[in-house]
Structure 1
Amino acid sequence: MKASLLLGILFTIVLDLGAQTDSVTYRPNKFNQLKIVPLPAIGSNPANGWLFGLAPSATWYMGEPSTTKISNFVGNFLYTTKKQWIFSSRSNIFSNENKLIFMGDWRYFLTSQFTYGLGSKAPNELDFNPNQGGSLWGKQGMDFSLIRFYETILKRIGDSKFYLGLGYHLDIHSKIENYNDAASDFNPIYSHDAYNSSLGFDLDRYTLSGVSLNGVMENRDKAVSPYEKNFAWIQYKINPAFLGSDQSSSLLMLDYRHYINLREQRKRNLIALWGFGNFVVSGDVPYMSLPSITWDMFGRSGRGYAQGRFRGENMVYGEAEWRFPLQQNKETFGGTIFLNAASFSSKTDNEKLFSKINPGYGVGFRVMINKQNRTTIAADYGFGQKGNSGFYLNINESF
C-alpha cells in the first residue's frame, strides 16, 4: 500500500511538473516535428522467441529544435511464441531548452525466463550447486509476473551538460513458479528458492521500492542514435522497508557511453563504446532484482546471451561496436560489428568480479526509416560462449 500510494503521488507530481514546464515555456509548439511510427511489431530475442504485436515509436521536440534535444518514446504491446505478454514503455523526454529530462521505464510482464544461478560461472547444463546445499544450478525454468514503474526527473545545472535529479523505482515480482522437466522426478531446490530462503525473502512474491539520487551528463547529439560525443549516468538507489521494500537495501549504477567518429565527412562511420556497472552496496535484494544481463533500461546489453543468463550481487559490462554505412552517398542501410564482455560476482558461491569473464560478439544490419530523427530498424545476430547465441530485432541503436 505504501509503495502504491507513493507511486500515485509521484506520478501526479511528474504530470504536474511537465504541465507547468510546457505551459510556461513552450505551449505553442509542444510537439514540434512530431514523428510517430505505429509499427506492427515483429521482433526476436533468445528470452522471448518471436514477438508479435504493436511497437509504437515517437520522436518530437518540446521546444525550438536548435536549442532543444529530440525526445523519444518506444512502446511495446506484444505476444510471444513462448506464450508471454509484454507491455512496456520507455521514454527520454527533454523539455524546452533541455531544462528538464524525464526518463521513464514502465513495464507489465506476464512472462517466463530461464535462470541459471548466480555468478559468471553458472553453467548451461543442469547440475547441483555444492555451495547452495545441493540446490540446482544451470538452466531452470521460471514463470513470473512483473510490474515495474521507474520515473526519474532531472534538472539542468545552469547552461551546462550536467543534470541532477530524483527518481522513484518500483518492482513487484509475483506468481513466481520454478520448473524443470529434467528434475521433475525428485523434489529439487531451485537456485531462486535457495537464494531467497537463505536471506528471508518470500519465494512467490516480493517488492523492491525506493528512491534514487541521479547525476547525468547528456552530451550526445541524438540520444536514439548518437554519432558523436558522450553520455554518463550515476545513480544511487535506496530501497527502504518503510517505502514498501521487503528488506532495506541500496544499489549503485554507473553508465558511460562514448562515440568516436572515424570520418568527419561521414559521421555514421564511428566506434561506439559502452561501460556499465551495477552493484549491491548494502543490504540484500531478492533474486530477480539482482543485477542481470539484458535487464538494462532498453534490454540491449549482452547480445549473444538470453536475458537473465547471468546474474549476481555485482555486475560489470563493457561493449564496443563499429557502426558504418553500406552506401556511398545514402544513409538508408548500415552495418555493425560488436564485441562485449560481462562479469558477475556471487557472495553465496564466493565468486569475485572478473574471476570469470563471458564474452559475446556478432554482426548487425541497420535500416534507417527516418533520416532526420535517425529512427532505425536494427537486426543483430550475437554469439556467446558454449553454444549461447541469439537473433535480435529492435528499433534504434543498441546504445
Structure 2
Amino acid sequence: MKAHIQFLFCIIVCILLGLNNVKAQLVDQNIPLDTVQQPKTLKQNQIQQIDSLYDVVDAFKAINPIKNKNKENFSKKRSPISYLPNINYNPSIGFQIGVKAVGGVYFGDKKNTSMSVFATALNYTTKGIAVGYLFHDTYTKENNWNLKGSLHIAKMVGLDYGIGLGMPLENLTDEEQILNNPERIRYVNNYTVYGFSERIYKQLTDNLFLGAGIYIDLKRNIKTLGDFENTPLDVYSDRKGYNPHMNNNNGLMLNVQYMTRDNPNNAYKGIYSDIVLRANQTWLGSSQEGFQLLTDFRKYWQLSNYRPNHVLAFWHYGSFNVGGDQGYLDLPGTGKDPYARSGRGYTNGYFRGKSFAYTEIEYRFPILRNQFLSGVVFANMQTIDDEIGSKLFRQWQPAGGAGLRILFNKLTRTNLCIDYAFGKFGQKGLFLGLNEAF
C-alpha cells in the first residue's frame, strides 16, 4: 500500500509538472491559456505543423556523423513506416525480443480519406511465447470501403486464474471452487494457435459503415503445466462439452462501424465505434455454436487547439454472450480485446467469464512543445459475468497507472509508449509498445 501511495504521488507530481510546462510554453508564445473557450479566434498558422515536430528519426539524424546535405528534401524522404527492435516487457509475456513494423498511408485525399495502417511483427519471449502476425486496417479513396484483417501464428503460454473477479463466493461445489479460484492460484496453459480474420465494410453515409466478415481460430496442443488433479480448463471443458486439448472457434461476423476520429494511431479528437455480432458456426468447423456481441466505443476530447496532443480519451469495450458457449481459452476477459491492450495493471486473462465489460479513461498531456515527449495518466475498471456468482456491472476490479510517450514517427503520430500500471491482488508491471492503448 505504501508503495502504491508513493507511486500515486509521483503521478500527481508528473501531471503538475507537465501542466506547468504547458503553461510556461504558452505564456512564452503570448498564446491565451483559455484556448478551449476561444476556438473561433484560432488561426491556422498558430497550430503546430508536422515540420515543427521532433521525433526519434530527427534525433538520430541530429547525432548522425554523416550529415544530410540536402536538408530541404529530408522530409520528402521520410518513410511513414516505423521499424523497431521490439524489446518489450509486461507481466503476461515476460521479456520480449523481436522486430516490429508499423506504417500508415493514405489512399486518397487526406481531407476525405482516413489513414490506412498496417503492422507486422515476429517476437519471442522469455516465457516461451513465439508470435508472428500481419495486420491491416485499410480505407479506400473517400472511405468508400474499409477492410480490416489479420493473420497470425503463435506458440502461446497463457497465465490462468480461473473465471470471475477473484471474489470469494459462498455455497460453491468443489468444481465451482476451482473455477472461482479465490486463492488466486496461477495456472499456466500452453497451446498453439493459427488465426485468420477479414472484414469488409461499405460506407453508407458519412462516417457510417456496414460490414461482414469471417474468422478462423484453431487452437491445438492445449495443456496445463504442472501436476494438478483438476484445473479451471478441465472443469470448464467438462461442464460445457469441449475437448480440453483442442478447439476450433470459427464463424461469421456482422458489423456496424461509426468513425470520426482523426488518426487511428493516436487520435486527438472524434469518435470510433464498432458493434460486431460474432456467430460461431459448426458448419464452418467450429467446435460448438455460440453468439457473442462485441461493442467498442472510443471518444477523444481535444483540450487545446494550440497543443493538439492535450487530450482526454475514453474507452468502453464489451463482449456479451447472447447464446451458446465459448471454449475456455476463447472466453472474453482481460486483454482479450482485438488488440490485446485492455486491462493495463493485470496479466492477460487474469479475469475472464461468459460476458465481460471494460471501461478506461486516460488523460494525455504534452511535456515538450515539439511533442517529442508527452505523458499520460489512466484508470480502468473491469466487470464479469461468470455464471457462478459474479454479475456483470455489479462488481468491478480497478487498475491505474501512468506513462511517458516518445514521438517515434511524426508522419503517422506513432508513439513509443512506456507505462507502469498496478491493480489488485499484487498485480503490477511495466508495459511497453508502439501506439496508444486505444
In the TM superposition, residue 135 of structure 1 has moved relative to its aligned partner by 3.6
Does residue 284 (structure 1) correspond to residue 325 (structure 2)? The answer is yes
User: Are the aligned partners of 1:99 and 1:156 in contact in 2 as well (CA < 8 Å)?
Assistant: yes
Give 2:150's aligned residue: 105
Q: Residue type matched to 2:356 in 1?
A: M
Does residue 168 (structure 1) correspond to residue 214 (structure 2)? The answer is yes
Query: Which of 389, 393, 415 is the equivalent residue of 1:350?
Result: 389
In the TM superposition, residue 89 of structure 1 has moved relative to its aligned partner by 2.4
In the TM superposition, residue 131 of structure 1 has moved relative to its aligned partner by 5.4
Give 2:200's aligned residue: 153
Does residue 94 (structure 1) correspond to residue 139 (structure 2)? The answer is yes
In the TM superposition, residue 34 of structure 1 has moved relative to its aligned partner by 5.7
Q: How many residues align?
A: 356
Q: Which has the higher contact order (CA 8 A, sep 6+)?
A: 2
Matches within 5 A, 1:234-253: 234-253=275-294
Q: Residue type matched to 1:132 in 2?
A: E
Give 1:340's aligned residue: 380
In the TM superposition, residue 61 of structure 1 has moved relative to its aligned partner by 1.1
User: Are the aligned partners of 1:175 and 1:205 in contact in 2 as well (CA < 8 Å)?
Assistant: yes
Q: Please give the secondary structure, in 2, of the residue aligned with 1:157.
A: strand
Over 3 Å counting, the alpha-carbon distance change for 1:221 and 1:372 in structure 2 is: same
Q: Please give the secondary structure, in 1, of the residue aligned with 2:283.
A: helix
Q: Distance in 2 between matches of 1:337 and 1:109?
A: 32
Q: Residue type matched to 1:260 in 2?
A: W
Q: Distance in 1 between matches of 2:202 and 2:79?
A: 23
Give 1:225's aligned residue: 266
Q: Distance in 2 between matches of 1:334 and 1:277?
A: 29
In terms of fraction of residues, the more strand-rich structure is 1
Q: Distance in 2 between matches of 1:34 and 1:214?
A: 33
Query: Which of 101, 123, 136 is the equivalent residue of 1:56?
Result: 101
In the TM superposition, residue 133 of structure 1 has moved relative to its aligned partner by 5.6
Over 3 Å counting, the alpha-carbon distance change for 1:101 and 1:33 in structure 2 is: farther
User: Are the aligned partners of 1:122 and 1:310 in contact in 2 as well (CA < 8 Å)?
Assistant: no
Does residue 74 (structure 1) correspond to residue 115 (structure 2)? The answer is no
Q: Distance in 2 between matches of 1:243 and 1:280?
A: 20
Q: Distance in 2 between matches of 1:285 and 1:369?
A: 39
Q: Residue type matched to 1:292 in 2?
A: G
Q: Residue type matched to 1:67 in 2?
A: N
Give 2:49's aligned residue: none
Query: Which of 68, 81, 93 is the equivalent residue of 1:36?
Result: 81
Q: Distance in 1 between matches of 2:79 and 2:217?
A: 31
Q: Residue type matched to 2:383 in 1?
A: S
Aligned-pair identity (%): 30
Give 1:130's aligned residue: 173
Give 1:296's aligned residue: 337
Query: Which of 132, 137, 141 is the equivalent residue of 2:188?
Result: 141
Q: Residue type matched to 1:156 in 2?
A: Q
Over 3 Å counting, the alpha-carbon distance change for 1:202 and 1:112 in structure 2 is: same
> Residues 173-219 of structure 1, C-alpha deviation per residue, up to 9 Å, x if partnerless?
11111124xxx3xx511001100111111010010111111000011
> Residues 65-90 of structure 1, C-alpha deviation per residue, up to 9 Å, x if partnerless?
23211111122200101121011222
Q: Please give the secondary structure, in 2, of the residue aligned with 1:64.
A: coil
Q: Residue type matched to 1:300 in 2?
A: R
User: Which consecutive residues of structure 2, in runs of 5 or more, have no partner in the other structure?
Assistant: 1-76
Q: Residue type matched to 2:208 in 1?
A: F
* TM-score, scaled to structure 1: 0.86
Over 3 Å counting, the alpha-carbon distance change for 1:97 and 1:243 in structure 2 is: same
Q: Residue type matched to 1:41 in 2?
A: N
Q: Distance in 1 between matches of 2:221 and 2:398?
A: 33
User: Are the aligned partners of 2:187 and 2:225 in contact in 1 as well (CA < 8 Å)?
Assistant: yes
Q: Which runs of 4+ in 1 moved over 4 A?
A: none
Q: Distance in 1 between matches of 2:78 and 2:286?
A: 42
> Residues 259-311 of structure 1, C-alpha deviation per residue, up to 9 Å, x if partnerless?
01221221211100001110111011110111121121211100000011111
Give 1:115's aligned residue: 160
> Residues 310-357 of structure 1, C-alpha deviation per residue, up to 9 Å, x if partnerless?
110000100000001111x2111110000000011111x232113321
* TM-score, scaled to structure 2: 0.78
Q: Residue type matched to 1:264 in 2?
A: N
Q: Distance in 1 between matches of 2:174 and 2:164?
A: 12
In the TM superposition, residue 134 of structure 1 has moved relative to its aligned partner by 5.5
In the TM superposition, residue 33 of structure 1 has moved relative to its aligned partner by 8.3
Matches within 5 A, 1:367-382: 367-382=406-421
